[in-house]
């Protein structure tokens, strides 16, 4: 089998996303309308969420259930050197945080700016909810937004010939981790994707 269509980004599949409801932990669905699906992340869009179980719904995307990453970009309060510090992804945000200057080694408290953490994490890019289609493979997490995304991954992983023409730095395939691209994991990944597909169809058909 040969796999082509190497240009699409993960964002291409983000107009319908199956998630775990943050209220009841059952299946929820996010639908979105994007102005441009070829960007690395959604920029201009309208999105809404509806739970298939408890009827919890959202239309405003200023609600975020996912991780944040904090940045301190200041001058050191002790020596005046430039201070640049990034936190690890976290759900806990604070107005101020301790930062250590690399020049004078002094520790002071600074105001911190928080942004949504979107990089290759198993949650949706609109509300930060945990994806329904995710499963552990050793120490890694395999995930997909929907069945179209899942089929794309299954086709790519199962392909003996992979077309790399016209691939760009934001394409889904370019940003796949090496453990997914590795031929030695092919059978296990396809098996796990098939289990995810069956689980979704079972849960969705019962609604």
Average pLDDT over residues 91-117: 93
Do 133 and 201 reside in the same domain of the chain? Answer: yes
At 3 the pLDDT is 45
Q: Do 135 and 200 reside in the same domain of the chain?
A: yes
Q: How confident is the model at residue 15 (pLDDT cuts 50, 70, 90)?
A: very high
Percent of the chain past pLDDT 70, that is, above it, reads 92
Query: In what side-by-side order are the strands of the sheet with 113-116?
Result: 82-86, 68-75, 113-116
Digit-coded pLDDT (tens) for 106-156: 999 999 999 999 877 899 999 999 999 999 998 999 999 999 999 999 999
Residues 20 and 85 placed together within one structural domain of the fold: no
Residue 1 has a pLDDT of: 39
Are residues 47 and 128 located together in one domain of the fold?
Answer: yes
- Say what the pLDDT of residue 19 is: 98
**Does residue 9 or residue 16 have the better pLDDT?**
16
Number of domains in the chain: 2
- Please indicate, yes or no, whether residues 51 and 152 belong to a single structural domain of this protein: yes
Mark whether 83 and 135 lie in a shared domain.
Answer: no
pLDDT at residue 2 is higher than 60: no
SS3 sequence of the chain = CEECCCCCCHHHHCCEEEEECCCCCCEEEEEEEECCCCCCCCCCEEEEEEECCCCCEECCCCCCCCCEEEEEEEECCCCCCEEEEECCCECCCCCEEEEECCCCCCEEEEECEEEECCCCCCECCCCCCEECCEEEECCEEEECCCHHHHHHHHHHHHCCEECCCCCCCCCCCCCCCHHHHCHHHHHHHHHHHHHHHHHHHHHHHCC
Kindly state whether residues 10 and 57 are assigned to the same domain. Answer: yes
Domain that holds residue 188: 2-64+120-205
pLDDT tens column, 166-193 = 566 778 888 899 999 998 999 999 999 9
The predicted model gives 76-80 an average pLDDT of 95
79 shares a domain with 9: no
């Amino acid at each position: 089998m040969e796999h082509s269509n190497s240009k699409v980004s993960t964002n291409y599949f983000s107009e319908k996303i199956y998630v775990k409801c943050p209220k009841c932990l059952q299946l929820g669905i996010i639908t979105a309308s994007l102005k441009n699906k070829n960007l690395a992340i959604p920029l201009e869009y309208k999105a809404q969420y509806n739970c298939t179980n408890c009827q919890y719904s959202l239309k405003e995307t200023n609600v975020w259930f996912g991780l944040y990453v904090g940045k301190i970009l200041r001058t050191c309060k002790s020596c005046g050197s430039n201070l640049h510090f990034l936190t690890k992804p976290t759900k806990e945000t604070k107005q101020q945080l301790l930062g250590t200057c690399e020049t004078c080694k002094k520790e002071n408290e600074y105001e911190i700016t928080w942004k949504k953490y979107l990089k290759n994490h198993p949650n949706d890019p609109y509300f930060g909810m945990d994806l329904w289609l995710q499963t552990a493979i050793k120490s890694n997490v395999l995930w997909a937004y929907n069945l179209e995304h899942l089929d794309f991954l299954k086709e790519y992983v199962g392909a003996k010939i992979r077309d790399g023409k016209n691939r760009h730095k934001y394409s889904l395939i370019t940003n796949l981790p090496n453990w997914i691209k590795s031929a030695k994991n092919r059978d296990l990944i396809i098996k796990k994707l098939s289990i995810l597909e069956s689980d979704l169809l079972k849960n969705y058909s019962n609604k």
